[in-house]
Amino acid sequence: MRLLKKVLRPIYRRFFKKPLWSFLAKVKVFFVADFVAEIEPKLAEIEARNTAQWKALEQLLLAVIRLPEQQADVVGLSDAPRDQPADMAAKRDGSEVTNERNNLR
């Protein structure tokens, strides 16, 4: 067994280990570069789409935030309509709520 190791080990190192690993390193670099080149445009497209979605969401949120103020200015009312549903709920008693439930059936 020792003789086999002594004979095969130098042959393996000379003909397989160094050439094989250097070849595999070159192949790895080639495939990684090809893979990165293929993915970069897709990542740029996803990033552009994501940026556009965030800008649209920002515009939507700004519109939602400004909407109640604009409606109040157009109607000429103050912040009273915002508080009105809470006041109406406080004024109701239990019998009105029960009658409304019965009317829904």
83 φ, ψ (degrees, to nearest 5):
-90, -10
Residue listed under structure tokens 């003789």: 3
Residue listed under structure tokens 């400004």: 66
Rounded-to-integer distance, Cα 25 and Cα 14, Å: 17
With 90 as the cut, is the pLDDT of residue 9 above it? no
pLDDT at 12: 85
Q: Which of 6-10, 60-64, 86-90 has the highest mean pLDDT?
A: 60-64
What are 74-83's pLDDT values in tens digits?
666 555 555 5
Structural domain boundaries enclosing 39: 2-104
Our count of domains for the chain comes to 1
With 70 as the cut, is the pLDDT of residue 97 above it? no
DSSP string covering 38-65, please? HHHHHHHHHHHHHHHHHHHHHHHHHHHH
